[in-house]
Amino acid sequence: MRLANQTLKYLSISVLVVIALWSTVFYLFMLEVIHDNIDEELENQKRLIIQELSTNPTVAPDLEFGINNYKVREISEQQALNMQQVYKDTMLYMQDDDDPEPELEPVRMLTTAFEHQGHYYELSIINSMIEESDLIKNLFYSVVILFVLLVVSIVSINKIVIERLWRPLYSFLDQLKRFRLGKTQEKPAMDTKIQEFKDLQLAVTTLIHHNEETYEQQKQFIGNASHELQTPLAIMINKLEMMVESEELKQEQSETIAEVLHTAERLVRLNKSLLLLSKIENKQFLQNENLSLNALVLNMVAEFEDIAEFKQVEINVVQVDQLHVHMDSALANIVVSNLLRNALFHNKAGGEVNISITGNMLTVTNTSAHAALDADLVFSRFYKSDAASKGTGLGLAIVQAICQLYGFVLVYRYENNLHSFQLNMHP
């Protein structure tokens, strides 16, 4: 989740909780105010009723609420002394002008006791809460609407503010994603007045500068190593070839020189492979373009036809779909040629190599006289299934390095006595 969205998420939850608590407190407070007003009115009615009843010599019991919304019931002295003045909400059958029959309506009731001429009475007074109930409902709906509006408004405003504040950072991150050492000239930068972002930019700029210096040093080392190693090796091979052609050498001397020449040539191949690996890891091959892997495979198969015929190996290509990739053409050639070369050179006479191309996968399967390879080591440098092999042991390691560079997935399997390498271009 993006930082701005994460910030907005926590802020929204906090605002939601705070406003919910505030709305609840406000609603309960207003409800208490309404009840206090009604209770005060009931208290006034109580005084007026008791005052009016005190002018009469006797108090006739009134068992039902009359037109004055009160009723009186005689009780004992002990009941009167134990009774406390109580306010409560209840429901009573009442009939308004527009009601054909009595209906249950909300009322607020005050129950108290008083003494008149040595007699004790229970007094119950009611006050209709129809209007107050409507007021409470309207208050509740108003609070809910206000709650929703406040939350939406606060979250929307904060979203705009946060996105505007974090915009320079996101722009800076996009620039960093597109930045390539040795390729991008312009350094990532952001126009901001926020000190933390300025500190981040300074730290990143310093790191990039340090990496560029290291990158240039590595490039220079690779170039120098390539030149310094290849030249003496080429001279040595040339002199050895001249010595082999000399008629003055004995048979044993010629064979010894031939072995040294073969070792020197292997050293040249090893040097080239190691330099290639270093260049791949330093991302010096990033001239990406759209390539048809189908066409590349067919061209490579045509180039290896003579070797396949010499090795008595049949190559079969099955094109289920057209597979297109966006990568450096030189690296694409290396991937296909190394997989095909590996399948041919580690095959057996009368064997076969099957190449399958689907919408997102290239699969190279081959027969072999050897058993299954170690899946954990097969892509390691200098790994060889046969110690007597004359290869460098870097072919599959180079393919794996290229796959890691582009985010491809390369998997080795051994099924039905067949070695299979599956390359997923779009995992």
For all residues of the chain together, what is the average pLDDT? 79
Q: Distance between CA atoms of 266 and 274, rounded to whole angstroms?
A: 12
Please calculate the CA angle 108-40-29 and round it to the nearest 5 degrees.
75
**Cα dihedral 191→196→201→206 (10° resolution):** 150
Joined together, the tokens standing for residue 126 give 């009611």
Mean predicted confidence (pLDDT) in 298-311: 88
Tens digit of each residue's pLDDT (9 = 90 or more) over 133-187:
667 777 778 878 888 888 888 888 888 887 888 888 888 888 888 887 766 778 8
User: What's the burial of 244, exposed, middle or buried (CB within 10 Å: 0-12/13-18/19+)?
Assistant: middle
pLDDT of residue 365: 92
Mean predicted confidence (pLDDT) in 8-23: 80
Q: For residue 6, give every residue at least 6 positions away whose Cβ sits within 8 Å of its Cβ, in sequence order, or none.
A: none
- pLDDT of 63 strictly over 70: no
Tens digit of each residue's pLDDT (9 = 90 or more) over 255-303:
777 777 777 767 776 667 667 667 666 666 667 888 888 898 898 888 8
| Paired strand residues for 317 | 355
Joined together, the tokens standing for residue 170 give 């996101």
Q: For residue 43, give Cα distances in angstroms to 47, 50, 82, 112, 114.
A: 6, 11, 19, 10, 13
Q: Distance between CA atoms of 19 and 17, rounded to whole angstroms?
A: 6
Residue type, 402: I
Domain ranges of the chain: 3-152, 195-281, 288-424
**How many helices (H) does the chain have, and how many strands (E)?**
9, 11
DSSP secondary structure letters along 226-253: HHHHHHHHHHHHHHHHHHHT-TTS-HHH
Q: Strand, helix or coil at 188?
A: coil
DSSP state of 67: T
Joined together, the tokens standing for residue 123 give 């007094």
Q: CATH for 288-424?
A: 3.30.565.10
Q: Distance between CA atoms of 415 and 373, rounded to whole angstroms?
A: 11
pLDDT of residue 373: 80
**Sign of the alpha-carbon dihedral angle for 278, 282, 285, 289:** positive
User: What's the burial of 400, exposed, middle or buried (CB within 10 Å: 0-12/13-18/19+)?
Assistant: buried
8 A C-beta contact, residue 187 and residue 210 = no
